[in-house]
Structure 1
């Protein structure tokens, strides 16, 4: 990768670069743009050059470049035009940047055997025959070792068997083309692989929405790895096959390793999966034949439901820059995962608590969409509370959980018979157990939103919170969202994103930082609103709307102060009303 290309991207796309930097790090002391800029000033270095140097020291250059491309930032060596000039240059270049990230290679028993495409953070679509070790209809034994080589050169294990698979035809497995549709009825030669962990979240993925039906003699783009080597896209044209509609031909030159590559049409919409060459004719399987079979699986893997407005109207409270919170809530909702909630921290602890309180309103709407089995109790700390355990108990009872009064304390932990710390800790742990039992009885998940205190907490209250959180993290029916409390230490692991499902299983909370926002956050809101209100999104029009909302507002390297959010919200409303069909 050319250093100059990365340096130019850092300088020209500061906000996207900052987002990519955060996406590729999972350690507890990540690089930040503020930290890099401060160190660069101290050493009188160019910030971009210092940034690149730090990436190299941490071995993150390849992952960073892939994360940039996933955000549509083309690097200098990504330039490619359609030789037939069918596809306009600028959309093609943005697509190419993304294609560099969502393409991948399938590795079977330590050998590259085909191509694939990311359709979610942990899902890869490829051809079934690429992963097969025996003929269709036969046991696939011995089970192969399957891995996926991602665009950032990370190799990830995939689960066996595939989460969805549709075999190829019997003749196709022997390299003979089907003569009629009946030869491949309900056999689409596709497989959906699930990675052991959502390692590809920073790389982006293709959309499976409304797959485009193929048209004869139409432009086709194939994203593949012929021969297993580096390749981005090749251009060709489609063609019909006599007596067969379940397969289409194309004229892109392919080779071993191309199978499983994704095909796209002239509008850069997903068209199907390249299968193989039969009788010197390359063929693909139309996406419309199999997408409906995998859509639900993919929807569970893709970024969780987001909200652009709390009431889904242009006049309601707008939600800007909270994608990480949405992902954290989705991870915490997984009953088998390590994530037991969210810890929301301000990047500036002296800033307003408005964003903290608004997090409760967002969470409330998200849980409403999950149904009555998810119940939310808010624990306000606006007044001095003598007995915080009793306060929590009373709030949980308000959501319909029958939490009983505490039992008589044993002599070894009762007030006056044990150190105060022991008594407080015992009460908090018993309370967590009681709430867990009440939630389990009705088959519910209890979410406790603990507000940032507006009064000074006593040492007893601090210890109660610490003890309750420590106990609640181990309860399968309890979830915590802790807003603020930046100066209070709480037990459990802290994750910067959904942790790996394998290995260490200790529970913890995902940390969600709130503070400055970016133009990309405005675009996310507009795109979500546009898709919901109109069924589509025009990138150019939405870009103009984002620019109008931010015009004249001060920023530092593309980061805007959260105090500007109310003004941005009002600037957005006219365009949102137009999307909703108003004036």
Structure 2
């Protein structure tokens, strides 16, 4: 049971991951739960702490388990663990003559302490028509790997009955799934024989939420282990649908062998569970019994399969953004292709001269889309990072209610956690030069320090400025102009401006990412916020279908029909644009059309 003490440990030891968890679990910009908002709601007068408030929020939203698994997937488990939850005791042993004795007879418990909570988070169960059938694990944001024979009951469903395939994730919730690719076993394997050909007995299942990003996944992008002989082994599985912890055993690897023997005690439902060697590298999935031992389908037997690699790569490296959380029931995005294209370009080309985005409104009296842009930025960057990797990006936001007279000091405090005002270079102090030169020198010093700090952390820092509704003071405006000029020249910093249309800023502006090629100066991509078009709706629908079910054929005729339904009764202006006030209606219709096409139950 998670309590406030556990939350307190997580905040103290892993604050950046806690912040990311709130972004991932509460993506709705209309009902935000961010770290700063939680901090501000703490009532210290009655003895409340940040941990108390955060736990109450998670309980009320029924997201305690999701929060815990998000942390576990990133090596930040705050809950003390009994050893029996890592290794089950009194496991019956088989004769090890076929396996041999590993040279190393014990696991590295420090490595185990890191692996165990991750594995508890990324594993899942396979259910068919409300019956538990086997084990599996996430291998990409939307993809689950299991054994092909686990899905055999799908072929035994009576005529007229709709087979229901689901996964039960580590959050103890079931999610509808479909098989996107099956690599069948050979019939002779049912009798314990080895397959005569290249049969591997695996399947990839797809769900419509990126839980593999939230709860972590098995890394199937690297090379398979290449040791020879016996090694320690552990299996992540659900024998008879029961959670028994991670079991220690032995495995024997013979290069080129079609199956590996192991001696973990398994039973019905273990099939499809991922197995790992002594260094916790993915070795293969459990298949069944083989003579006096058990058998593993080696990862090396399917690692190089082009279809397997293509499915994993496409699902793991999605650069488009049709939703804040790739959730069809979440916040759907229409008409922001320029913004997303710019982000994708900067991630794919870190040495590019494109160093940020300037979001400008056609109607400066409207704030629609400005604040939402930060939600898009934070969610997009979070979705591009592997759960178990060190954070590669950091977002620093200077809010929309700026009323400071020293913007540089505010930025320094946000970026470096210091209240010290950044200094000017020697010879450019306030007494030695003009105010403009003095503030320019301070800006250059601060940005150089931030750039070095980001480089040292191995990160890119994204500095986001909200449009101040009351404008900036004359001094802050001078500072801001220096920031906008200097920051895009930094290697490890990126600048996002939301608004500021009336300010005279000097960065080079790019109309599209193609204009960046060959540029000699760094600059910002300009995104014009305004009405949306039919092609914007079509692009969102196409991205949704491609992301959620790329095997589903979306013909031009079907796509046109979906767009027609989404825009029914709405009239564009003489340039073919639709007023932004219709977005909510169109989003609702797009969601309905996509669910109907993908056969997702409401």
Deviations 1:336-395 (A, max 9, x none): xxxxxxxx995613478964789x999xxxxxxxxxxxxxxxx995689xxxxxxxxx96
- Unaligned 5+ segments in structure 1 are 331-343, 363-378, 385-393, 400-447, 453-464, 481-487, 507-583
Cα 1:196/1:257, change in 2 over 3 Å: same
Task: Report the secondary structure of 2:41's partner residue.
Answer: helix
Deviation at 1:310, TM superposition (A): 7.2
Distance apart, 1:278 and its partner CA: 3.5
2:289 alignment partner, one of 268, 277, 282: 277
Maintained 8 Å contact 1:224/1:258: yes
Deviation digits for residues 219-271 of structure 1 (CA, Å, limit 9, x no counterpart): 11111111111234111111368x99201110111111111000111121110
Q: Decide which of 108, 113, 138 is 2:133's aligned counterpart.
A: 113
For residues 9-20 of structure 1, the aligned pairs below 5 Å read: 9-20=10-21
The answer on 1:99 being equivalent to 2:154 is: no
Counterpart of 1:163 in 2: which secondary structure? Answer: strand
* Selected match of 1:41 from 43, 48, 55: 43
Q: Distance in 1 between matches of 2:583 and 2:397?
A: 19
For the Cα contact (< 8 Å) 1:249–1:284, is it kept in 2? yes
The 1:449/1:504 distance shift into structure 2, 3 A limit, reads farther
Question: Are 1:74 and 1:93, in contact at CA under 8 Å, matched by a contact in 2?
Answer: no
User: 2:276 matched to 1:257?
Assistant: no
Q: State the alpha-carbon separation in 1 of the partners of residues 81 and 272 from structure 2.
A: 23
Check conservation: 1:196, 1:501, Cα contact below 8 A.
no
- TM-score w.r.t. length of structure 1: 0.56
In structure 2, distance between residues paired with 1:197 and 1:186? 32
Mapped pair 1:76 → 2:79: yes
1:164 & 1:63 partners in 2: Cα distance?
Answer: 28
CA deviation map 1:415-459 (0-9, x unaligned): xxxxxxxxxxxxxxxxxxxxxxxxxxxxxxxxx96448xxxxxxx
**What are the ranges of 5 or more consecutive residues in structure 2 without an aligned counterpart?**
90-103, 320-343, 358-375, 386-394, 412-461, 466-483, 490-498, 505-509, 516-523, 544-578, 596-602
Distance in 1 of aligned mates of 2:66 and 2:19: 13
The question of 1:31 aligning with 2:36 is answered no
C-alpha distance after superposition, 1:489-539 (max 9, x if no partner):
8763599xx999964659xxxxxxxxxxxxxxxxxxxxxxxxxxxxxxxxx
Instruction: Describe the shift of the 1:397–1:322 C-alpha distance in structure 2 as closer, same or farther (beyond 3 A).
Output: closer
Partner of 1:210: 223
CA distance in structure 2 between the aligned counterparts of 1:64 and 1:20, rounded to whole angstroms: 6
Specify which of 233, 247, 251 is matched with residue 238 of structure 1.
Answer: 251
8 Å contact from structure 1 (residues 109, 146) kept in 2: yes
**In the alignment, is the contact (CA less than 8 A) between 2:141 and 2:315 conserved in 1?**
yes
The separation in 2 between residues aligned to 1:78 and 1:503, in whole angstroms, is 44
Please say if residues 262 and 274 of structure 1, whose CA atoms lie closer than 8 Å, have aligned partners that are also in contact: yes
Q: CA deviation at 1:17?
A: 1.4
Q: Relative to structure 1, is the Cα distance of residues 316 and 297 closer, same or farther in structure 2, using a 3 angstrom cutoff?
A: same
Matched ranges for 1:168-567 at <5 A? 168-173=185-190, 176-178=191-193, 180-182=194-196, 185-208=197-220, 209-213=222-226, 215-239=228-252, 245-293=257-305, 294-304=308-318, 312=350, 324-326=379-381, 346=397, 348-349=399-400, 350=402, 355=464, 450-451=526-527, 466=530, 468-469=531-532, 473-476=536-539, 492=583, 503=592, 505=594
Q: CA deviation at 1:146?
A: 0.8
Give SS of 2:268's match.
coil
**For 1:156, which of 162, 172, 175 is the aligned residue?**
175
Q: CA deviation at 1:470?
A: 6.3
Alignment partner, residue 523 of structure 1: none
Structure 1 contact 310–318 (Cα < 8 Å) conserved = no
How far apart are the structure 1 equivalents of 2:298 and 2:274?
A: 10
Task: Spell out, residue by residue over 1:139-163, the C-alpha distance to the aligned partner (whole angstroms, 9 max, x if none).
Answer: 999773210111111211112xx22
Question: 2:560 aligns to what?
Answer: none
CA positional deviation for 1:212:
1.6
Shift of 1:26: 3.5
Distance of 2:590 and 2:289 partners within structure 1? 38
Does the aligned pair in 2 maintain the 1:166–1:187 contact within 8 Å?
yes
Change (3 A) 1:502 1:199: farther
Q: How far, CA to CA, are the matches of 1:231 and 1:23 in structure 2?
A: 29
Q: 1:477 to 1:274 in 2, by over 3 A?
A: closer
| Aligned 8 A contact 1:310 1:317 in 2 | no
DSSP-derived class of the 1:296 partner: helix
Q: Distance in 1 between matches of 2:252 and 2:23?
A: 44
Aligned to 1:245, the other structure's residue is in SS state: coil
CA distance in structure 2 between the partners assigned to 1:499 and 1:288 by the alignment: 45
